Amino acid sequence: MDKMPRWADVALIPLINILLAFILAGLVVLAIGQNPFDMVYFMIKGALGSTRGIGYTLYYTTNFIFTGLAFSVAMHAKLFNIGGEGQAAVGGIGTALVLLAVPWPHWTLALPFAVIGAAVFGAGWAAIPAYLQAKRGSHIVITTIMFNFIAGALSIYLLNGVLKKPDQQAAETRQFGDGAHLPTFNEMLSPFGIEFSKSAPVNFSFVLAIAAAVLVWLLIWRTRLGYDIRAFGNSESATAYAGISSVRVTIIAMLISGGLSGLLAINVVMGEAERLILNFVEGAGFMGIAVALMGRNHPFGIVLAAFLFGMLNQGGFELLWEMPGISREMVLVIQALIIIFTGALVNMTRDPLERFFIRMNKRAG
């Protein structure tokens, strides 16, 4: 056997890489004269120490599950969709339009239509880069970056114009009606006698995110379309010989990806803010790249990675109170280092480990 065992590939290497990232981040913390172990303690306490902390952690986790799944679906077709940020922003516009247009009587009625609004708008924003990649060969990385910025300009324009609530300064829409209020964990769990923090924003969208993860798993590994997407990602020429249309796969994979990014708006716009505000995506689209990378493009891995990144996010906010010397952007440094070690520098740990395992195997055999 001239391969390393699967457990090493799936578990050992990511663990070593995350450890390396944390060691380096610890050195940064030491360099600014703070105690890295205190930092880790306060971050974990902030993220998991109370139902409020858990509620925020799961709220961020929900965002990262959506954007991580979005990135992974496109990546299975070897399409680097870096436009999650813009697709989520436009998904927010779709959500807001649906929720503002109709005085919804109950959230169970509002949610399906809001999901359609979010997904269609998100997918629509991915459609043009997808078409240009499939038909004109325009590099999707660059076009989706450009579309992120165009989405930003569009949001600012709409929220300062037609969508803006009259008679106020802030660039935001009016509040959605009470009938569009998604139940929070507090409201969902209290009938069962479970006390959950009232202030935590985690809501029904978390259930939606888990369902999306299951559906993506079914799509990618249990349907013909999923097979086509994976085959296209592995070898474009082979799929051409097999009669799979590259245009069709590219566009469908990107539409699903954009739609999933758009769903982030259900959690943030419908679930938390209950109105459309500017810059609500807050980098979650980009973070989806890291989440998918760490989760190795598998829904189960993505849910785990999203939880880790959700913890980091929430822990970082709490840091502000406990250790004022460390700015919460330390979280960004940790996340960046995780991406560097698990993504860009993955071969740095993989190559020597692979050699090690091959040598061990030869000795054993």
Partner 1 sequence: MDFLQLILTLDSTVRLSVVLLFACLAGLFSEKSGVVDIGLEGKMLISAFVAAAVAYETGSAWIGVLAGCAASLIFAMIHGVASIIYRGDQIISGVALNFLASGLTIVLGHAIYKKGGQTPTLTGNARFTEITLPFADAVRDVPVLGPIYSELISGQTALVYLAFAVVPAVWFLLYRTRFGLRLRAVGENPSSVDTAGISVVGMRFKALFFTGILCGIAGAYLSTAQAAFFGREMSAGRGYIALAALIFANWRPLQAMGASLLFGLLEAISNLYPKIDVFGVVTIPVQFTQALPYILTVVILAGFIGKASPPRSVGVPYVKEN
Residue numbers at the binding site for partner 1 (CB under 8 A): 28, 32-34, 80, 82, 128, 132, 136-139, 141-143, 145-147, 149-150, 153-154, 156-157, 161, 286, 289-290, 293, 325-327, 329-337, 339-340, 343-348, 351
Q: Which CB atom, from 210 or from 332, has the smaller least distance to partner 1?
A: 332
Cβ at position 324, least distance to partner 1 in Å: 9
Tokens encoding 1: 């056997």
Nearest approach, Cβ of residue 332 and partner 1 (Å): 3
* 88 neighbors 281 (Cβ within 8 angstroms): yes
Residue 272 CB, nearest distance to partner 1 (Å)?
A: 23
Is 172:159 a contact under the CB 8 Å cutoff? Answer: yes
Ordered alpha helix ranges (H), 106-245: 107-136, 140-159, 185-189, 205-222, 224-234, 236-241
CA distances from 55 to 46, 63, 200 (A): 11, 13, 5
Smaller CB distance to partner 1: residue 264 or 331?
331
Shorter beta-carbon distance to partner 1: residue 167 or 329: 329
Q: Which residues, in sequence order, are CB contacts of 359 under 8 Å at separation 6+? A: none
HSE on the CB side for 177, CA within 13 Å?
A: 15
Cβ proximity to partner 1, 29 vs 69, nearer residue: 29
Is the Cβ of residue 110 or residue 339 nearer to partner 1 in the bound state?
A: 339
Which residues lie closer than 8 Å to 33 by C-beta, 6 or more apart?
325
Residue closer to partner 1 by CB (options 137, 243) is 137
Contact in structure between 261 and 88 (CB atoms under 8 Å)? yes
Q: CB under 8 Å to 283, separation ≥6 — which residues?
A: 85
| Token pair recorded at residue 46 | 């902030």
C-alpha 279/C-alpha 85 separation (Å) is 10
Q: How far is the CB of 241 from partner 1 (least distance, A)?
A: 23
Closer residue to partner 1 in complex, CB, 104/121 = 121
Cβ–Cβ < 8 Å for 180, 103: no
Q: Which residues contact 193 (CB under 8 A, 6 or more apart)?
A: none
> How far apart are CB 255 and partner 1 at their closest, in Å?
18
Query: CB of residue 154 vs partner 1: minimum separation in angstroms?
Result: 7
